[in-house]
């Protein structure tokens, strides 16, 4: 059965009943204390690198995620950069990352002088597939006293970065077992998964360190922002130090004891973030309502499936998605075009990393699932407002 663009549009319209085009893919919502908190920053002059909202934002994040420490930074890419550094990734290492991800996951690896090594996606969960990873490591990895090595390149396999794609949790128990077997550190790219959980445990608390993003299109936004999460107090202190130019605290002396980064989140952005986090449960509830409407609207349509949360886990439904059957792969651009023409902002999955010019020569496992999803997945409008008005 070929997916007809009129039927596809009718299903979209059905799910988005009360919304009039144009409908954005994911728009932020400021319906709480955002204005009051940002105004307070301006009124008091505490807009920049010092201020109480940064501490408050970090405490709120830690509590929501159930993690001991959160360190707020300027964006999710910076959070990944420092999290990988603290996990021990060094120049000349390799880091296992999903081929199907946003480019920041691979870029952060490159910033450390390390090489991304691409692995395949799970067809249901969309993120990294631990079973495929294990089969691949059995072929290419050797365990040495210094950790796992890629036998083909001689480089150390320093870390693996599960990314919970569009908010759907990776099978983290499966991944933890593979990572432990080969002695590889786990750093979560939880940029898309604030509010998701795996077997009752929040995403962002399932590895040694995690990175969150608060970009304008994410679940909640600080304008631009990110955070590093960890339970380890030593790593948390290192994260704070490195992201604040490695300056030793002193009333007047300017002494920096190593080369750090100016990655601190400004107070102005943290103020916005505090107001956003206050409303996170309400946003998540409405995103679930919308996801359920998509399931119903596309029910019975042959030639595609709606992506839903894995059994036993909870997704934040950051971005809803449908996946076309193989026979309908060549219909994708037609459907994208029809939806865009009708004012619905839809988009394909990211181009898989190994198909980008700068990462074409990187080591990689067979990537049949990532490539298929790259050709067949369509993200649908997913703003919280589409699941009901802001209360
Ligand atoms: C958004 C995102 C990032 C990066 O976050 P920024 O805040 O935009 O730097 C990293 N990884 C994934 C998977 C993302 O979706």
Q: Model confidence over 99-131: pLDDT tens digits?
A: 999 999 999 999 999 999 999 999 999 999 999
Tens of pLDDT along 351-361? Answer: 999 999 999 99
249, burial (CB in 10 Å: exposed 0-12, middle 13-18, buried 19+): exposed
The answer on pLDDT for 391 being more than 80 is no
The answer on pLDDT for 47 being more than 80 is yes
Domain architecture of the chain: domains with CATH: 5-30+280-387 (3.90.1150.10), 34-278 (3.40.640.10)
DSSP 8-state assignment for residue 78: H
Q: Tell me if 21 sits within 8 A of 344, measured CB to CB.
A: yes
Question: Stretch 211-217: mean pLDDT, rounded?
Answer: 97
* CA–CA separation, 101 and 164 (whole Å): 9
Atom of ligand 1 nearest to the CA of 218: 1
Ligand 1 centre and the CA of 77: distance in Å?
A: 6
pLDDT, mean over the chain: 97
Say yes or no: CB of residue 363 within 6 Å of ligand 1: no
Ligand 1 centre and the CA of 353: distance in Å?
A: 14
* CA–CA separation, 95 and 73 (whole Å): 22
Say yes or no: CB of residue 263 within 6 Å of ligand 1: no
Mutation test residue for ligand 1: of 83, 95, 102, the one with most atoms within 8 Å of CB:
102
Ligand 1 centre and the CA of 167: distance in Å?
A: 12
Ligand 1 centre and the CA of 102: distance in Å?
A: 7
Say yes or no: CB of residue 163 within 6 Å of ligand 1: yes
Question: Stretch 223-240: mean pLDDT, rounded?
Answer: 98
Residue 2's pLDDT is what?
87
Atom of ligand 1 nearest to the CA of 163: 13
Per-residue pLDDT band at 146 (split at 50, 70, 90): confident
Tens of pLDDT along 54-102? Answer: 999 999 999 999 999 999 999 999 999 999 999 999 999 999 999 999 9
Say yes or no: CB of residue 192 within 6 Å of ligand 1: yes
* CA–CA separation, 278 and 276 (whole Å): 5
Say yes or no: CB of residue 104 within 6 Å of ligand 1: yes
Say yes or no: CB of residue 191 within 6 Å of ligand 1: yes
Is residue 70 classed as helix, strand or coil in its secondary structure? strand
Say yes or no: CB of residue 221 within 6 Å of ligand 1: no
Tens of pLDDT along 299-343? Answer: 989 999 999 999 999 999 999 999 999 999 999 999 999 999 999
With b meaning 16 or more CB within 10 Å and e meaning fewer, what string describes 161-177?
A: bbbbbbbbbbbbebbee
Ligand 1 centre and the CA of 160: distance in Å?
A: 17
Say yes or no: CB of residue 213 within 6 Å of ligand 1: yes
Mutation test residue for ligand 1: of 100, 191, 229, the one with most atoms within 8 Å of CB:
191
* CA–CA separation, 79 and 212 (whole Å): 7
Helix axes 267-278, 52-65, angle to 10 degrees: 40
Tell me what percent of the residues of the chain surpass a pLDDT of 70.
100
Q: Which residues contact 226 (CB under 8 A, 6 or more apart)?
A: 72, 73, 74, 75, 76, 77, 78, 79, 80, 191, 211, 212, 213, 214, 265
Say yes or no: CB of residue 102 within 6 Å of ligand 1: yes
Residue 49's pLDDT is what?
82
Structure tokens belonging to residue 8: 């596809």
Q: What share of the chain is helix, strand, coil (3-state, %, to 5)?
A: 40, 20, 40
Say yes or no: CB of residue 105 within 6 Å of ligand 1: yes
Question: Stretch 121-145: mean pLDDT, rounded?
Answer: 97
């Amino acid at each position: 059965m070929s997916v007809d663009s009129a039927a596809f549009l009718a299903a979209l319209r059905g799910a988005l009943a009360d919304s009039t085009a144009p409908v954005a893919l994911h728009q932020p919502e400021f319906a709480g204390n955002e204005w009051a908190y940002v105004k307070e920053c301006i009124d008091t002059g505490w807009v920049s690198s010092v201020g109480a909202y940064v501490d408050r934002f970090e405490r709120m994040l830690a509590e929501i995620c159930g993690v001991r420490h959160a360190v707020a930074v300027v964006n999710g890419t910076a959070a990944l950069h420092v999290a990988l550094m603290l996990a021990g990734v060094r120049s000349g290492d390799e880091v296992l990352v999903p081929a199907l991800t946003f480019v920041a996951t691979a870029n952060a690896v490159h910033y450390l002088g390390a090489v991304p090594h691409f692995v395949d996606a799970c067809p249901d969960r969309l993120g990294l597939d631990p079973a495929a990873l294990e089969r691949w490591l059995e072929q290419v990895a050797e365990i040495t006293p210094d950790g796992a090595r890629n036998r083909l390149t001689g480089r150390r396999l320093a870390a693996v970065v599960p990314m919970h794609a569009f908010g759907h949790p990776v099978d983290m128990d499966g991944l933890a077992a593979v990572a432990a077997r080969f002695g590889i550190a786990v750093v979560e790219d939880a940029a898309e998964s604030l509010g998701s959980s795996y077997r009752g445990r929040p995403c962002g608390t399932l590895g040694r360190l995690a990175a969150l993003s608060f970009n304008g299109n994410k679940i909640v936004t600080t304008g631009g922002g990110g955070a590093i999460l960890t339970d380890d107090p030593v790593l948390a202190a290192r994260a704070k130090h490195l992201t604040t130019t490695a300056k030793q605290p002193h009333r007047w002396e300017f002494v920096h004891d190593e080369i750090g980064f100016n990655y601190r989140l400004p107070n102005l952005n943290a103020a916005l973030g505090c107001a956003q986090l206050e409303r996170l449960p309400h946003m998540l509830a409405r995103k679930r309502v919308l996801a359920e409407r998509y399931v119903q609207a596309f029910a019975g349509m042959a030639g595609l499936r709606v992506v839903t949360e894995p059994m036993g886990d909870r997704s934040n439904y950051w971005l809803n998605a449908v996946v076309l059957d193989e026979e309908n792969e060549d219909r994708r651009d037609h459907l994208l075009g029809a939806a865009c023409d009708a004012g619905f902002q839809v988009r394909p999955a990211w181009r898989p990393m190994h198909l980008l010019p700068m990462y074409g020569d990187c080591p990689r496992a067979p990537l049949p699932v990532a490539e298929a999803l790259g050709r067949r997945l369509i993200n649908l409008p997913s703003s919280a407002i589409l699941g009901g008005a802001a209360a």
